[in-house]
A and B are shown apart, each in its own frame.
Chain A
Amino acid sequence: MARVLLVDDDDQLRSMVTQMLEREGFEVTEASNGVEGLESYADLETDIILLDMVMPRRDGLMTLQDLLASYPRARVIAMSGGSRGRASWLPIAKRAGAVGVLKKPFTKDQLMDSLAAALANPWK
């Protein structure tokens, strides 16, 4: 089954997504910020990265850019629930090379759909 790296600074949301994914048979590794996320990916090279765009320290966009610079074939799904005072992140993440976007709050169906689409993406 596919392996997912889940990078989100919201602990509650993160363990909820992990539960959802594990129930569907995914193997999940968690990271709570961009730096940790990059380190984990270097170790594991998971099939998918679910990446929150708004995080303290290394934010989502910087993490995304670093990831794709080192691993151009990484499949990143960007997640965001809105700005925190800036323009919406999701279109920007797409331009920066994310294979998919997920608007928070999302349902389990939406999560599964976007994972399926990202895994099926032939361009990576």
Chain B
Amino acid sequence: MINSQQNRRTPKSYDRLRDLFFRDIEILLIEDSAVDQVVFCRYVERSQMPFVVTAVGSLAEAREKLANKHFDIIVADYYLPDGVCLELGIIFYEYPVVVMTGGGDEKIAVGVMKAGAKDYLIKGTGSGALKMLPLTLENVLIRHHAEREREELEARADEMQKMESLGRLAGGIAHDFNNILGSIIGYTELAVEDVEEDSITRRNLQEVLIAAQRASHLVEQILAYTRDSAEERVRVDLVEVLDEVMNMLAHSIPKNVEIEIIRQVDYAYVHGNETNLYQVVMNLITNGIQAMEAEGGILKIRMMEIIQGRKPMICVEISDQGCGINRDHLERIFEPFFTTKAPGKGTGMGLAAVQGIVEYHNGRIDVSSQVGVGSVFTLQLPSDLND
């Protein structure tokens, strides 16, 4: 009777976990008693759930394992040869932890729960708690997953709020700020005219100009990222936008970088804000060129029309043979102010602006990259179907 009930539950649980994980679930068992390890593994096996157990006998071994491998959940005996499991320190809070205690140790159980454990199990004969093991693990995993999701949502909402206020601030000061920059640039240019051709003063004034242009560029990127939705939109031909960008860049492309443009369309009409779309193409191409600065290579720009879920989209693929982007960075490149470039070289607002603008135009931007091989950025924007 009990068996058949368990069997009916098992496939369902399996589904719930599989929906969340799409793979086997890695358990790290920290248990110094060999017998208890065996018992634990038997219960896990019997559950027919997609669990894989790695067992270690001490905190030191656990730390070592955790440093080299990802685990989904930790099950730890309270007392271990080299301390109590709470001494795992930060690990205790980063992972969902289920603590096992001997019978009669309920006080300890309450303590570990207060310290952040997700659940506890009483082991020892007769308690029957280990029978609950699979169910406990399943519940903890699902709860942990939900908590993480909520944390992520909150963090994203926070981020959006921050950017919104940054946008409002930027919009509010853009006018005054650009007036100020206008004066800096203008007066410096006037001064440049008055000093001798190859004097140090002239070179220094030229540096002031470069700095002011950088400041102006930064304001523009921030404004683009925090899109003002009242911005004017018209029919824009991305072929023309690309031509303009290439014209603008013509003199600054390093000798070791070759540009190859493959246009599979004559026109690429989208509906949008021309200045912003120019910024998108400019930022993506600039990044590609900068990535190849050291070793050189070919920057390929392919423009085509594709059908995405019945909708025609203009697709611009920009692939470089540059340094590539490692996994950790790949997650962060669209963050405002994330940059790996030297101070003064990059604002880190380039891709943030790209993403802001692309979202505002109902498009998408994807990236794939391999360190040492190169990166591909794929921009898709809905075709403008009006004639």
Contacts and interface: CB of A to CB of B under 8 A. Distances in A.
Interface of A: 10, 12-13, 16-17, 19-20, 23, 54, 80-88, 91-92, 103-108
Contacts of A88: 228, 231-232
A103 B279 CA distance: 15
B230 A87 contact: yes
Nearest to A8: B179
A16 B231 contact: no
Given A10-B183, A13-B182, A88-B232, A107 B171 contact: no
Nearest to B274: A91
A103 B178 CA distance: 9
Nearest to B193: A23
B179 A13 contact: yes
A114 to B, nearest CB: 14
B174 interface: yes
A81 B187 CA distance: 17
Nearest to A92: B232
A19 B174 contact: no
Contacts of A106: 182, 185
B181 A104 contact: yes
A81 B174 contact: yes
A91 B236 CA distance: 14
B232 A16 contact: no
Nearest to B194: A23
Interface in B96-132: none
Contacts of B184: 105
B42 interface: no
A16 B187 CA distance: 6
B172 interface: yes
Given A16-B187, A16-B190, A85 B182 contact: no
B181 A108 contact: no
Contacts of A82: 171, 174-175, 177-178, 219, 223
A85 B172 CA distance: 5
Contacts of B178: 81-82, 103-105
Which of B177, B179, B190, B228 is packed against the most chain A CB atoms within 10 Å?
A: B179
Given A13-B186, A108-B186, 5 more contacts: A81-B177, A87-B228, A88-B228, A105-B178, A105-B182
Contacts of B175: 54, 80-84
B174 A17 contact: no
Interface string B228-244: 10111000000000000
A81 B182 contact: yes
Contacts of A105: 178-179, 181-182, 184-186, 212, 216
Contacts of B182: 10, 13, 16, 81, 104-106
Nearest to B187: A16
B190 A83 contact: no
A101 to B, nearest CB: 11
B189 interface: yes
B211 to A, nearest CB: 12
A104 B178 CA distance: 6
Nearest to B223: A82
B190 A20 contact: yes
Nearest to A89: B175
B183 A16 contact: yes
A85 to B, nearest CB: 5
17 contacts: A16-B186, A20-B190, A81-B176, A81-B177, A82-B171, A82-B174, A82-B175, A82-B223, A83-B171, A84-B171, A85-B172, A103-B178, A104-B181, A105-B178, A106-B182, A107-B189, A108-B186
Contact of A19 (B190, B219, B230, B232): B190
